[in-house]
C-alpha cells in the first residue's frame, strides 16, 4: 500500500466527514426548528408544566393590617399521572393527564373564634379542568371559579374546631409535575402525598424531595412522601420520561458516523494486506457512499415511519449496497462474510446503541478493544517493511557480490 493511496483514502474520509456534518446539522436544525416553533403550540393546546401549591391560610391580626399565616393540621394529597405522548414534527412531547385530590384539615388552636382566609391557586392559570369539585366538610362550595385568581373563601372556626377542605380536578400538563408547600411558612405538618404513575423509570425534578417509599404497581410506580412535621424549602417533583425523539437521535447517529467509517476502513485495509486483495481508493469512495446512504435514509424516513423500522430499512439497504458492491468489484478473493460482520458491528451496532441512553460510550469502548485484539492477532506476523515497500531501502539487505573480473582487478 503506497503513501499516495493512503493519502487518497484519507481525502475520501475527510469528504465523507464533511457530508455527514452537513446532513447532521440539517437534521438538527430541522428538529430544533420544529421544537422551537411547536413547543408553545403544544403547551397552548395541551398544557404547561404543572406546579400545584398548597392552599394559603391566614387570619388578620386585630388592630393591625398584618396577617398571621397558618398551617393546615394535616395534608393528604393523592395524585395520578398518566402519560399521553403527543408528536409534533420530529419531536415527541412528554404530555400527561393529572388527577389531583387534596384534603386539608384546618384546626383552630386558639381560645377564640377565627375567620381564616383560605386561598387555593390552580396549577396552571390557562389550563382546562375537568371533574372539578371543591367542598368544606363534604358540603360543596358554591363559589365562582376563576383559574387566574384561584379560589378564595372565608372559613369560620370556633375554638378547637376542625374543618376539612377538599379540592379535586383532572387536567393536563407536560414534562413534569410539582407540589409546593406554602413558601411563606417553609413548614408542613402531617403530610401524606401519594403519587401513582403509569411509568416505572421515575425521575425527580432538580432540588426536589425524594419519596420515602417506592413500590411497583401494575404498569407503574407508587411513590409516597410522609412527614409529621417537616421543615423544608424543597418541592416535590416528578419528571415524566421522554420518549425516543427521532430527530435528535438521528442527528447524533449521523455525527457519530465518522467513527464507524474509520473502523470499517481499517477492516478493509487489513483485508487488503492479509488477503492481498487489490483494493483501489475508488472502492473506498463507494464504501463511504454506502455508509452515507444509511444516514441519509434514516434522516428522512423517521419523518414517516417508526424509528426502529426506519433504522432497519436503512441498515439493510446500506449493508446490501456495501457488501454487494465489494463482492462484485473484487470477486471471490474478497471475504464477503467478514465485510458483512464488520458493517453490522461498526455501523449497525454502534449506531443502535444511541437508542439506549448511557450505553453508547460503553458499546464503543468495548467494540474498540475487541477490534484492536482481532487486528493484533491477525497482523502479528505481517512484515510491515514489505507492506509499505521499504524492504529494499531498509539497509537490511546484504550488498551484491562483485563479479569475477572486478575481483581480478582488485588483486595486487
User: Between residues 384 and 185, which one has the greater pLDDT?
Assistant: 185
Cell numbers found for residue 266: 481499517
Q: Which of 209-223, 224-238, 293-307, 386-400 has the lowest mean pLDDT?
A: 386-400
User: Between residues 36 and 319, which one has the greater pLDDT?
Assistant: 319
Q: Is the pLDDT of residue 196 over 90?
A: yes
Domains annotated for the chain, with CATH where assigned, are: 3-32+245-393 (no CATH), 47-239 (2.60.40)
Q: Which of 106-115, 217-226, 305-314, 375-384 has the lowest mean pLDDT?
A: 375-384
Q: What is the mean pLDDT of residues 237-265?
A: 87
pLDDT category, 394, cuts 50, 70, 90?
very low
Q: DSSP letters of 308-334?
A: HHHHHHHHHHHHHHHHHHHHHHHGGGS
CA distance 364 to 309: 23
Interacting residues of 46 by C-beta distance below 8 A, sequence separation 6+ = 86, 93, 95, 172, 173, 174
Q: What is the largest CA-CA distance in the chain?
A: 139
CA distance 217 to 197: 9
CB atoms within 10 A of CB 247: 24
109-168 per-position pLDDT tens digit = 888 888 888 899 999 888 889 999 999 888 888 877 888 888 888 888 888 889 999 999
pLDDT category, 360, cuts 50, 70, 90?
confident
Tell me which residue of 407, 390, 334 sits closest to 2, measured CA to CA: 390
What is the average pLDDT value for the chain, to the nearest integer? 84
pLDDT category, 357, cuts 50, 70, 90?
confident
260-298 per-position pLDDT tens digit = 999 888 888 888 888 787 888 898 899 999 999 999 999
Q: What is the mean pLDDT of residues 294-320?
A: 89
pLDDT category, 36, cuts 50, 70, 90?
low
Q: What is the DSSP letter of 141?
A: -
pLDDT category, 90, cuts 50, 70, 90?
low
Across 48-52, 124-128, 329-333, 352-356, the highest mean pLDDT is recorded for 48-52
Q: What is the model's pLDDT at position 393?
A: 44
66-79 per-position pLDDT tens digit = 788 888 999 999 99
pLDDT category, 35, cuts 50, 70, 90?
low
Residue 317, φ and ψ in degrees, nearest 5: -65, -45
CA distance 23 to 25: 5
Q: What is the mean pLDDT of residues 363-388?
A: 81
50-53 vs 176-180, strand pairing mode: parallel
Edge-first strand order for the sheet with 67-70 is 67-70, 56-60, 114-120, 151-157
Interacting residues of 95 by C-beta distance below 8 A, sequence separation 6+ = 42, 46, 47, 83, 84, 85, 86, 172, 173, 174, 240
Q: What angle do CA 176, 179, 183 make, to 5 degrees?
A: 130
Q: Which of 34-48, 68-82, 102-116, 208-222 has the lowest mean pLDDT?
A: 34-48
Q: What is the model's pLDDT at position 408?
A: 46
| pTM of the shown model | 0.69
CA distance 66 to 77: 30
Q: What is the model's pLDDT at position 37?
A: 55
Amino acid at each position: 500500500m503506497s503513501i499516495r493511496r493512503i493519502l487518497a483514502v484519507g481525502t475520501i474520509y475527510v469528504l465523507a466527514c464533511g457530508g455527514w456534518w452537513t446532513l447532521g446539522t440539517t437534521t438538527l436544525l430541522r428538529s430544533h426548528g420544529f421544537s422551537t416553533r411547536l413547543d408553545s403550540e403544544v403547551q397552548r393546546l395541551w398544557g404547561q408544566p404543572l406546579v400545584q401549591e398548597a392552599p394559603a391560610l391566614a387570619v388578620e391580626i386585630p388592630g393591625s393590617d398584618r396577617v398571621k399565616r397558618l398551617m393546615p393540621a394535616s395534608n393528604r394529597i393523592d395524585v395520578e399521572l398518566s402519560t399521553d405522548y403527543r408528536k409534533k414534527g420530529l419531536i415527541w412531547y412528554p404530555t400527561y393527564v393529572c388527577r389531583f385530590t387534596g384534603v386539608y384539615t384546618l384546626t383552630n388552636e386558639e381560645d377564640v373564634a377565627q375567620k381564616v382566609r383560605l386561598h387555593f391557586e390552580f396549577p396552571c392559570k390557562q389550563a382546562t379542568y375537568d371533574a372539578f369539585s371543591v367542598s368544606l366538610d363534604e358540603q360543596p362550595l358554591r363559589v365562582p371559579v376563576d383559574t387566574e385568581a384561584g379560589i378564595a373563601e372565608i372559613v369560620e372556626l370556633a375554638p378547637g374546631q376542625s374543618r376539612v377542605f377538599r379540592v379535586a380536578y383532572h387536567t393536563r400538563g407536560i414534562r413534569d409535575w410539582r407540589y409546593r408547600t406554602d413558601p411563606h411558612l417553609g413548614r408542613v405538618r402531617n403530610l401524606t402525598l401519594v403519587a401513582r404513575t403509569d411509568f416505572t423509570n421515575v425521575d425527580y425534578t432538580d432540588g426536589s424531595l425524594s419519596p420515602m417509599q417506592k413500590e411497583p404497581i401494575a404498569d407503574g410506580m407508587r411513590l409516597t412522601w410522609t412527614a409529621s412535621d417537616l421543615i423544608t424549602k424543597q418541592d416535590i417533583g416528578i419528571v415524566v420520561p421522554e420518549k425516543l425523539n427521532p430527530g435528535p437521535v438521528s442527528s447524533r447517529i449521523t455525527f457519530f458516523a465518522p467513527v464507524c467509517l474509520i473502523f470499517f476502513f481499517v477492516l478493509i485495509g487489513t483485508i487488503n494486506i492479509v488477503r492481498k486483495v487489490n483494493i483501489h481508493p475508488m472502492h473506498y469512495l463507494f464504501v463511504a457512499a454506502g455508509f452515507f446512504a444509511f444516514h441519509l435514509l434514516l434522516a428522512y424516513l423517521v419523518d414517516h415511519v417508526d424509528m426502529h423500522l426506519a433504522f432497519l430499512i436503512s441498515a439493510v439497504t446500506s449493508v446490501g449496497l456495501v457488501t454487494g458492491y465489494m463482492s462484485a468489484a473484487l470477486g471471490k478473493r474478497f471475504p464477503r462474510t467478514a465485510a458483512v460482520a464488520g458493517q453490522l458491528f461498526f455501523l449497525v451496532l454502534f449506531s443502535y446503541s444511541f437508542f439506549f441512553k448511557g450505553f453508547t460510550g460503553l458499546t464503543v469502548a468495548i467494540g474498540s478493544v475487541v477490534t484492536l485484539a482481532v487486528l493484533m492477532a491477525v497482523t502479528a506476523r505481517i512484515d510491515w517493511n514489505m507492506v509499505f515497500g521499504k524492504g529494499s531501502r531498509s539497509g537490511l539487505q546484504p550488498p551484491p557480490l562483485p563479479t569475477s573480473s572486478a575481483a581480478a582487478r582488485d588483486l595486487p
